[in-house]
């Protein structure tokens, strides 16, 4: 029997596409999101299209303190051991930092960093006991440079990348692989919720998830979907930051 896959932020976008892909491959999937209505619809859509798949729905808002432990115990109460963890949930904010609400910044950091680390801690300890497991943390191509007018989000993704690469080294001896997915602009609800426009060259979420799935299964370290995403990193960091400031400063 294939291991259970836990995916956060699974009601739409990359997380939803990950859930579909793993279900197609015969994995039982635990889909987690804060939006009960959207999550229920996403679970039903997958069940309708993929016969005999096992989909478990857990509603959990991971932008609040202490909820990663709640989520872990909900999984434990189901007598399930997670063999693959996809930390995909994330939120962003685009605009002037000083004009943002403090609560927006707090929730962003709590979701993108704090609860990602804590949930990984809980699940990784069980993986170590079983001497197997895979972890995929979703960062961003923004992890590689500062992002004026989207600075906190980019900084959290730099944290995710650094944390993941360090953890990869630590868990290797236990038979656990840690990979980091660093997508560029992606077609999803993320842009709208972050308060920014969907850019024309955005990559479909399905393609991002497909690249992420294959990279995770191969045990890759850092996964960069799309040629344009890889090419962008060849541009000097200072110039990339100027471009980012021009794009997001005009929102």
Which stretches of the chain score pLDDT less than 70? 188-201, 234-235, 243, 246, 249-251
Q: How far is CA 42 from CA 31, 47, 86, 189, 219, in A?
A: 9, 9, 17, 14, 28
Q: What is the pLDDT of residue 5?
A: 98
Q: Structural domain tally of the chain?
A: 1
29-33/55-59 β-pairing: parallel
pLDDT tens digits, residue range 78-110? 999 999 999 999 999 999 999 999 999 999 999
Which long-range contacts (C-beta less than 8 Å, at least 24 apart) are formed by 13-17?
13/186, 13/188, 13/189, 13/190, 13/205, 14/88, 14/138, 14/183, 14/186, 14/188, 14/205, 14/208, 14/209, 14/212, 15/86, 15/88, 15/89, 16/42, 16/205, 17/205, 17/206, 17/208, 17/209, 17/210
Q: What is the pLDDT of residue 168?
A: 98
Range of the domain at 125: 4-249
Residue 144: give its domain's CATH number: 3.40.50.720
């Amino acid at each position: 029997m294939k291991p259970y896959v836990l995916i956060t932020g699974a009601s739409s976008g990359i997380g939803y596409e990950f859930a579909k892909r793993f279900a197609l491959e015969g994995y039982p999937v635990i889909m987690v999101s804060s939006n009960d209505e959207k999550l229920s619809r996403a679970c039903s859509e997958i069940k309708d299209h993929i016969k005999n798949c096992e989909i478990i729905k857990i509603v959990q808002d991971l932008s609040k303190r202490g909820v990663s432990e709640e989520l872990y115990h909900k999984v434990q109460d189901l007598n399930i051991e997670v063999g693959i963890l996809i930390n995909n949930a994330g939120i962003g904010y685009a605009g002037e930092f000083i004009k943002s609400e403090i609560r927006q910044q707090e929730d962003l950091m709590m979701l993108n960093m704090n609860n990602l680390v804590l949930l990984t801690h809980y699940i990784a300890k069980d993986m170590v006991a079983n001497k197997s497991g895979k972890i995929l943390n979703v960062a961003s191509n923004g992890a590689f440079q500062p992002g004026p007018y989207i600075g906190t989000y980019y900084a959290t993704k730099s944290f995710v990348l650094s944390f993941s690469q360090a953890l990869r080294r630590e868990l290797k001896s236990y038979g656990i692989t840690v990979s980091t997915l660093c997508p560029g602009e992606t077609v999803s609800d993320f842009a709208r919720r972050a308060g920014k426009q969907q850019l024309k060259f955005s990559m479909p979420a399905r393609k991002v998830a497909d690249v992420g799935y294959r990279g995770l299964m191969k045990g890759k370290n850092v996964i960069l979907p799309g040629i344009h995403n890889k090419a962008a990193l060849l541009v000097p960091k200072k110039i990339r930051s100027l471009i980012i400031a021009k794009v997001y400063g005009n929102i």
